[in-house]
Structure formats: structure tokens, C-alpha cells
Structure 1
Amino acid sequence: MSSRRILVQEPEGVMKSTLAILLVTVGAFVVAQQNAPYQKPVSSKPSGGTQPTLEQRTVAQQNQALNVSFAQAFTEDTPEEFQLMVMELYVRCQAELDNCADLLWETHLLREYRKCALTQRRFCTQEIQELQSMLEALVAAGSEQVVLTPEEEEVLRALY
């Protein structure tokens, strides 16, 4: 009774740039939403003429820092089957930063916004690290060699 080793590999043809394209698209979408006029009648997002205000620049810098964090953590070679998890985390983190920005637009308390944004980015950094660890473990487990019994080999031959 011989056993054969089969190397389990990721599916061929995984698009390496899909994650980067999605991150750039979502980032552009978020920036476009930040620059749109705010709809609340009580207070509105400041609209500077040609020069963005300090508040707008600060929000844009925080959003850009989030984009950079994700781009560094999840490169273009992130397997396609994990990209949805990465996008969900990105959207959650961006939503939290948007909540901080809403606080800024309503109160104009820049210091409080910075505290809020820094706290949210720290939480997101922790979640990024946890997701990276989980993905590395899944990839490592997916590339382990599997030893099949003769019965399992017969089942595989019957399927293929």
C-alpha cells in the first residue's frame, strides 16, 4: 500500500492587482464623498474656495494614512479568496474614520477629531495585524502536503 503526496496549491490565474485596484477605488470613492456637500441643515461641512481648510486637509491626511496602512499590509499578491475579508475590514475602518469626520464637521473641534481618528486607526492597525496573521496561517495550511490513503486516492480518481 503506497501513499502519494499531493501538494495543495492556490488556484491558478489569481489576479494579483485586484486588491490594489479595489483599495484605490474605495479610497477614491471615500475621498469623493468627503468632498461632497454635507446634507444636514443644522451644520454643514466647511466648503473652502480653492484651498481646502485645515479641517479638510486633516481628514484627507487621515484617510490617506489608512489607505497606506492597507496598501503596505496587503500587497497585490494577496490571494483572491481573502480579498473580500480585506475589503470588509477596510470599509469598517473607513466608516469609523468617517464617524470621526462627522464629529469634526458638526463641532469643528480639530483636537477631538485627531484623538478620535488616532484611536480608530490604532484599532484598525490591530485588526490589520490580526487579519494578516490569520491569512498567513491559512496560506501556510493551504500549501501543506497531504498524504492520502489508497481509499482516498481511489475516490479522487473516480471524481476526476
Structure 2
Amino acid sequence: MADPVERPADQPECPSMQGAGLLPPELRAWMLLLAATGAVEQELRAVVKGNLDVSHDEFLVLCLLAEEPAGLRMTRIAELLGRPKTRLTYQIACLQHAGLVTRQSVCGDKRGVEVALTEKARRLLKEASETLSETVKRALTQFVGPAQREAMCALLPDLAASPDLEAN
């Protein structure tokens, strides 16, 4: 079994790691995964700000749009990110002001607004992609250890049988 994940001295162990509380195994596993992804997000925030000069939430919008070349409706972006539409409107305005997205009305729908990446945003994402990818991989290596793997396999038993995971 691999060594426990090292963490900075000022970062206490996640309480869910102990497993002696009231949570059922599925909820405990979910909490372990949330803690790990939260730690990865923290690592990514500074890199996103430094490379793209946007907030983490704005970066998530850019990532969604990068996967949809034709753009997405604002209501769909809000649904996918679990964000209030009012907050998303502000984020889109900031991205538009920075020249990273365009907004246009949806034909035949007075209230519909579609958002798409600009060429500037595509170029910046492409230029930053290697650094962002390395940051995610490094953070995952640092924060996802045996407990998180075990939690993921408990939530998704078919994943435990995956030959890709067994090789690691």
C-alpha cells in the first residue's frame, strides 16, 4: 500500500479520513473526494490568475465554452456550474470586458443569450493548457492518495475493477 499523502504542516487531516463518525460510507467517501478536489482547486487558482488573469469561476466558464465551439446559452452554463444566473451574468460581463467571450441573443427567444469564446480566449487557453494541466496533475498526485482512491472505488465499484487503475 502507498504511503499516506503528505500535506503541509499547517493543513490538518480531513476529519472524514478517520471514519469513526456518523456518516455512512458513501457520504464519507464523497467528503474525502470533495476535500481532495477542493485542494486541487486551491492549487489551480493562482495559476489560473497568473496565466489567464481571470477568477477560478470565470475559468470554469471558459472551460465549458472551450468544449462547445458554437457556444452555450447562459441558462445552460448556470445549470452546469450550479451557479445563480445573476452571478453568472456578472462573470460573463467581466469575461466580455476582457475580450474573452461574446454574447448574442438567441434567434427566436427574446430572453435567451448565447455565450461563445473569442479567438483571444482560445489562444490564451491553448498557451496556458500545458501549465494548467501540469498543475492539476501535480495537485492530484499531492492530494489524492489511498484513502481517496478507496473512497472512489467504494462509490463506483466498477471503477475498482478497471485495469487502468490496477496498473497504478
What TM-score does the superposition give when structure 2 sets the normalisation length? 0.28
Higher relative contact order (CA 8 A, sep 6+): 1
What TM-score does the superposition give when structure 1 sets the normalisation length? 0.29
- Report which of the two has the higher share of strand: 2
Q: Between Structure 1 and Structure 2, whose CA radius of gyration is higher?
A: 1
- Report which of the two has the higher share of helix: 1
